[in-house]
């Protein structure tokens, strides 16, 4: 077996209904429902203008600066896929630009998460396909391999398995493990409902703030004498 240079199919993928349910929720609230323990790090930032991302992960482990496997992953992609690349965070060479972007749009790719650089930024802005990357450089990639498609990868300590749910918005990127997705969705929806009620209480002027002083007193904070 060619360890480090191989392509797999995904054994399981998240359903469209499940992905659509997550797409309606803020990434920050999903993160809270996951105990705030998972993140891809602050270096992955939106390269598109606006809008959220939700889709099913196609994972790539790539040699830094090489996009051969990224080309193959776009060929393999089906509508609604998010292509996620662990290229070590190297910014010396861009892994994709406007030509690959145009092809991905034609294929129905839902977004990209690249622990690497891109180029042709104006095309990403104009197309507005959700794309999160670590940087920008005009220097192009190599196409020699090796690399792997649909294997477990890690970006900033966040583990992504092929078929997991990938989410992104202006706050960043998050992977929801498929095995825990239903439980995480229920917890996130409960949090979202609670925040909706709290926002209404703020608007009505009935928001209860007594918890702040209670927390300070419990911690032994000294208050001014009245």
Output helix, strand, coil percentages for the chain, rounded to the nearest 5: 35, 25, 40
- Tell me: is residue 99 an annotated ligand-binding position: yes
pLDDT at position 112: 98
Same domain for 209 and 130: no
DSSP string, 36-68: T-----TT-EE-SSS--EEEEEEEEEE-TTB-H
Are 105 and 198 in a shared domain?
A: no
**Does the predicted model carry a pTM greater than 0.85?**
yes
User: Is residue 1 one of the residues assigned to a domain?
Assistant: no
Give the pLDDT of the chain (226 residues) as one tens digit per residue: 688 999 999 999 999 999 999 999 999 999 999 999 999 988 999 999 999 999 999 999 999 999 999 999 999 999 999 999 999 999 999 999 999 999 999 999 999 999 999 999 999 999 999 999 999 999 999 999 999 999 999 999 999 999 999 999 999 999 999 999 999 999 999 999 999 999 999 999 999 999 999 999 999 999 998 7
The answer to whether 98 is a known ligand-binding residue is yes
Q: Domain check: are 112 and 199 in the same one?
A: no
Name the packing angle between helices 181-204 and 16-23 (round to 10°).
20
Asked if residue 22 lies in contact with residue 56, where contact means CB atoms within 8 angstroms, the answer is no
Does 224 fall in a domain? no
Start-to-end C-alpha separation, the chain: 76
Is 97 known to sit in a ligand binding site?
A: yes
Query: Is residue 80 annotated as involved in ligand binding?
Result: no
Into how many domains does the chain fold?
Answer: 2
CA distance 220 to 204: 32
């Amino acid at each position: 077996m060619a360890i480090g240079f191989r392509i797999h199919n995904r054994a399981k993928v998240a359903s469209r209904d499940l992905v659509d349910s997550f797409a309606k929720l803020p990434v920050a609230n999903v993160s809270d429902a996951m105990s705030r323990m998972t993140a891809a790090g602050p270096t992955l930032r939106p390269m598109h203008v606006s809008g959220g991302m939700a889709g099913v992960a196609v994972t790539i482990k790539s040699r830094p600066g090489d996009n051969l496997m990224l080309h193959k992953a776009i060929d393999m992609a089906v509508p609604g896929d998010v292509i996620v690349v662990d290229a070590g965070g190297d910014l010396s060479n861009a892994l994709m630009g406007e030509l690959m972007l145009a092809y991905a749009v034609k294929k129905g790719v839902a977004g990209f998460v690249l622990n690497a650089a891109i180029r042709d930024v104006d095309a990403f802005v104009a197309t507005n396909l959700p794309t999160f990357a670590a940087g920008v450089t005009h220097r192009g990639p190599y196409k020699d391999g090796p690399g792997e498609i649909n294997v477990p990868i890690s970006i900033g300590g966040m583990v992504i398995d092929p078929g997991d749910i990938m989410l992104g918005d202006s706050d960043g990127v998050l992977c929801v493990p498929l095995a825990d997705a239903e439980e995480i969705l229920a917890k996130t929806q409960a949090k979202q409902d609670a925040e909706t009620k709290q926002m209404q209480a703020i608007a009505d002027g009935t928001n209860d703030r007594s918890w702040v002083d209670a927390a300070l007193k419990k911690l032994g904070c000294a208050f001014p004498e009245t």
